[in-house]
Amino acid sequence: MNLDRRLILVVGKGGVGRSTVAAAIAGACAAQGKRTLLYETNANDRFGPYFGKPAVGDHPSELAPNLWAVNATPASALAEYGMMILRFKSVYEMVFENRVSRAFLRAIPGLDDYALLGKVWFHTTEEKRGKPAWDTVVFDMPASGHSVSMLQLPGVILETVPEGPLTRDARTIKALLCDPARTSAVLVTLAEEMPVNEAIELEGKLTAMGIVPQHVIANQVFPRHFAPGTPVARVLDALVAEPAGLPSPLAEVTAHAGLGRDRRALNERYLAELHRRAATKVGELPMLFRPTLGPAEVKQLGDKLVAM
């Protein structure tokens, strides 16, 4: 996987392990010496525990060498955007923090998402002492439907809003999103029917917007312990066919092994479907049988992503 991008969008259906893959990508970038910002929005944070740190808040916090994370909220993003435009805190408070303005801003559809998208764009341009603050920003995006509507906002603004500061920024954000030299998208799915169908649909929508998908990652793929026709597979078939009367713990072990074999067969079926239908390169990440994920597991996944 090519990690040499200023912005990496990690997108996918809810529940497919999108945040885990984003953390693994960010950790791999940091391990290569890139100053990396892992960006999430309004989330129940997982990134702190993944790296053995406290939960991430709305200001960047260090998770590991070269790696920081921020959990942006619409309020904090809008405040930063207002400060970027108005420059002075006193002027910002006068314009944005009075009761009438707050009520007006809450009524604007899509403003929260645009502020969050604008904040990630800002971080790709942010400088400290005349140098880029971040070499790479990894954006753990919301679930796929929400992500699509968020990414469409710059185009909607350009089509509907009169020329001015808002359209100027929207044009700049859209140019960043659609520049394959600066931005790539990593789609995360499971090797199951609904997630695969949604991943293919999402790939098409991103491509239509001009955003280049780099990889489709099938996450949590079960290992292949029981290849058909092998002696161990034949023994398992016989045990599963006649489960009655098996003593404990052989009964429990047999049931667990049968489940693992069936899950692998399901994964293989939909991996083949994914390879057949996806226009983007397909990669796999294994199911990690751990009660919780920590730095070692995130590194393990990151190493596999780099090798793709």
What residues make up the domain containing 64?
A: 7-218+284-307
Mean pLDDT of the chain: 87
Per-residue pLDDT at 95 exceeds 60: no
What confidence score (pLDDT) does residue 103 get? Answer: 47
Is 30 within a domain? yes
**Counted domains in the chain:** 1
Q: How confident is the model at residue 300 (pLDDT cuts 50, 70, 90)?
A: very high
- Angle (nearest 5°) at CA 232 between 226 and 236: 80
What tokens appear for 301 in the block?
Answer: 């996944």
Is 48 within a domain? yes
* Distance in angstroms between the alpha carbons of the first and the last residue of the chain: 5
Per-residue pLDDT at 40 exceeds 90: yes
The tens digit of pLDDT for each residue in 245-285 reads 777 787 777 777 888 888 999 999 999 999 999 999 999 99
For residue 223, is it left (φ>0), alpha (ψ between -120 and 50) or beta?
A: beta
DSSP state of 16: S
Is 251 within a domain? no
Rounded Cα–Cα distance for residues 231 and 6 (Å): 50
Which amino acid is it at 238? Answer: A
Is 21 within a domain? yes
Per-residue pLDDT at 224 exceeds 50: yes
pTM of the full structure: 0.87
Lowest mean pLDDT among 116-120, 161-165, 220-224, 275-279: 161-165
Per-residue pLDDT at 161 exceeds 50: yes
Is 40 within a domain? yes
Rounded Cα–Cα distance for residues 195 and 81 (Å): 35
Is 225 within a domain? no
Is 258 within a domain? no
- Which residues, including other chains, have CB under 8 Å from residue 56's CB and lie 6 or more apart? 38, 40, 45, 47, 48, 63, 69, 70, 71
Alpha carbon separation from 40 to 44, 69, 75, 108 (Å, rounded): 9, 8, 14, 22
What tokens appear for 101 in the block?
Answer: 């303005």
Is 64 within a domain? yes
> In this structure, what CATH number is given to the domain that contains residue 55?
3.40.50.300
